[in-house]
Structure 1
Amino acid sequence: MPLQAKLVRVAEDLPEVQIGIDVWGGFLDDEHVLLLATEQGPIVATADFREPALVPWVGFDSVSDGEGFIELAAPLAPDRFAGVVWNHGTRQTTVWRLERV
């Protein structure tokens, strides 16, 4: 089966993304993907990359002292992802729960 690749520009739909979209992420379920805004935080979008939204952090300062950022993210379940927090030259793997608001 022949395939073609089409460029998708998620960052254009999210003016609050300051640096860009990282290469980390993946499918949360059949309908949603998790992306990572570089040095900012997770983005959840539909599987066809529509309706992207930057996810607000709750409790991030407790693992980052306000200076860290998520270096990489990996979906674990429809409502969970692992994130490696980079903070003052060290890395800590954390697990986060996504909640609909």
Structure 2
Amino acid sequence: MGAYEKCENLLKNYNNYKLGIDITNGKIAKKCVDKIDKAIVSLKDEEYIGIITMHYIDRLTMERIAEVYDISLVTAYAQKKKLIHKLKNILCSDEAIRELLRK
């Protein structure tokens, strides 16, 4: 699994990590949520960063997101891919992984 897929997997599991914090007070889950939140905030100036939150956190379909932004579905997917590539450099770097695993 490459960095892109790992990053997308982190995003897909965001709500599970949040649930893990609520249920088990899990430290790693909290670190994951915090890291994802910070990574998204760091890209706040990106025009389509809302695609990430709407799709992975709010669970909107890409079709609905395209409607919200009034863009084509192809553009919505292209922007999501571009943003994940940016997020992977933040979330899936060696340093980011070491930080998550620190006690």
TM-score (norm: length of structure 2): 0.29
Structure with the higher helix share, 1 or 2: 2
Structure with the higher strand share, 1 or 2: 1
